[in-house]
A = this chain, B = another copy of it.
Amino acid sequence: MSEINLAVQTAVKQWNQQVLRAAKLLNDLSDQDLEKQVSPGKNRGKYLVGHLIAIHDLMAELLGVGARNYAELSAIYVQNPDGAILPEPTISELRIIWQDVHQRLQDVIPILTIADWFSKHEAVVADDFLKDPTRNKYSILLSRTQHLSYHMGQLRLLIN
């Protein structure tokens, strides 16, 4: 296999692994667990779940797949701190949206070609991309995998 195919395959594999681990972690956490703060005075598990959904919904858009489906979650779980915006979805609703957003990514990611991965992501204008070609879809995949790990480290603390 060529080096560039290995690079893409490795990054996709690590993304898939983290998404699988996250699904397992959410499955192990009850709705009651997710209502708790990950540490006293910090974000609730539910907020972090909503946050990851909103970021991954936007990720589909950055990968060029089409518009995000749950833009309203950004106000609640990205642009504002925990508890600022009400009403919010129930945890049951978030679990369903989680599956929908990640299924969409799972359907789309295998279709992207090497040329797609190294083309500009959708939030950067062409001129800026010419100056900095690392602002590509591949960098979105790597940084979102990292971001997911960051918050999984926090959600993991809700397991007794």
Residues of A within 8 A of B (CB): 1, 3-4, 6-11, 13-14, 18, 38-40, 42, 114, 117-118, 133-134, 136, 138-139, 142-143, 145-147, 149-154, 157
A138 touches B10 (CB 8 A): yes
Measured CA separation A143–B151 after assembly (Å): 16
* 10 contacting pairs across A/B (C-beta < 8 A): A3-B118, A6-B138, A7-B8, A38-B157, A39-B157, A149-B153, A150-B150, A151-B153, A152-B153, A157-B157
Enumerate chain B residues within 8 angstroms of A134, measured Cβ to Cβ.
6, 9-10, 13
Number of copies: 2
A6 touches B136 (CB 8 A): yes
Enumerate chain B residues within 8 angstroms of A40, measured Cβ to Cβ.
39-40
A14 touches B154 (CB 8 A): no
Known: A42-B157, A150-B149. Contact between A142 and B6, CB under 8 A?
no
Measured CA separation A1–B8 after assembly (Å): 17
